[in-house]
Chains A and B, each alone.
Chain A
Amino acid sequence: MASNAAVPFWRAAGMTYITYSNICASMVRNCLKEPYKTEAISREKVHFSVSKWADGKPERPTVRTDQPE
Chain B
Amino acid sequence: MGVLPGHMATIAELKPGVLSMHEGSDVKKYFLSSGFALIHANSVADIIAVEAVPIDQIDASLVHKGLAEFTQKLSSATTDLEKAEAQIGIDVHSALYSAITG
Chain A residues in contact with chain B, CB under 8 A?
A: 9-10, 12-15, 20-25, 27-33, 36-37, 40
Contact = CB atoms under 8 A, between A and B. Distances in A.
A43 B96 CA distance: 20
B80 A28 contact: no
Contact of B50 (A13, A14, A15, A22): A22
10 contacts: A15-B84, A24-B33, A24-B50, A24-B88, A27-B88, A28-B16, A31-B59, A32-B53, A32-B57, A40-B51
B50 A25 contact: yes
A28 B87 contact: no
A22 B85 CA distance: 11
B58 to A, nearest CB: 6
Interface residues of B, number: 25
Nearest to B56: A33
A29 B51 contact: yes
Contact of A36 (B53, B63, B80, B81): B53
